[in-house]
Structure 1
Amino acid sequence: MAEVNPQTGLPPNWEVRMSQSKGLPYYFNTADKNSRWEPPPGTDTEKLKTYMATYHSVARPPAPQAPAYNANDRAGKIRCAHLLVKHEESRRPASWREAKITRTKAQALEIIKAYQERIKKGEISLGQLALTESDCSSARKYGDLGFFGRGEMQPEFEEAAFALKVGEISDVVETASGYHLIERLE
């Protein structure tokens, strides 16, 4: 097997590029011109996590202020961050961290509960943990999903998010995507 890139952890001919339409990183093969959202097989995920956290994460966006956003555009919307742990039964068992997620639901639940404990103890914030551990592409934005209204998220996620007060973090929430911890930002 060929050596992975020592900086990115990606196999030969693969590089990280930015999507102009989504503003998110993706993986591009310069030899066959194929692209994908998930890391290609053979990726050293630990090296990739370090590379992505260093070069493709952004500072947590500040709360939007007028005139950047029209207050009417945000009516009825909230802003949340989340940390997602997927498992083999997730509706899409792949992420920017792993091309194929094989952990069981029980293992995923154990992982997210351990994250929850670290956050509760004040060892780390949800956003800092999401940056390297979340299976959602929002990880590069410290888990920040931006503003959303009712009907825009999975029902279980939405119910938990809208029940939170600003600054609160949910208990573990299960959706078809996996297990989430949700923090209400606004």
Structure 2
Amino acid sequence: MTPLRLAAVALLVGGGILAGFLLSGGHSNPAVAHVAGEAITRDRLETAVDHFREEAKREGTPFPDENTARFRALRNRFLGVLVYRAELSQAANRLGLSVSNIQVLRRLNGAKEPGEGEEQDSDQFQYDTVKSQMLYERIYADVTRRVTAPTTAELAARRNATMKRYIDRLKRETQVRYEPGYAPGP
């Protein structure tokens, strides 16, 4: 190979590596899924995995080794949870609904005022769980606000059916793209 061709190949390879680096945001925290343009990063997924690993440890339950098919299946199910949370967050934004950090922290701490009583230890996954639950509650209230029925039981059933249709449509219409090796199974 001539020196000119060798230089051209080196330039192309270097350019490809640089392009890959820049497209991944310039860091080593690549996306493992995209929900309507929002990236779910490997670090965010690892936070979820770490949460459940610690939970299993506290309960004395074995957690699968990272090199096993069982671990990959669990990891991908956790990714499915993160995708669902992103879908809820985006739906809440479209509806003009939000939850403040203070509201989430109050719920986490049993509705105590800041500085009142002992703060509960919480991790990011717990915080995000509470935030998603609160967003779900607000979406539910908004989506079902016009539902009526003659009895309380019928009202609850109609509201639940209305919310189920909303969530089904949300999942059907939201564009989700998983990176190779990451996708929740059945």
TM-score, structure 1 normalization: 0.18
TM-score, structure 2 normalization: 0.18
Higher strand share: 1
Higher helix share: 2
Indicate the structure (1 or 2) with the bigger Cα radius of gyration: 2
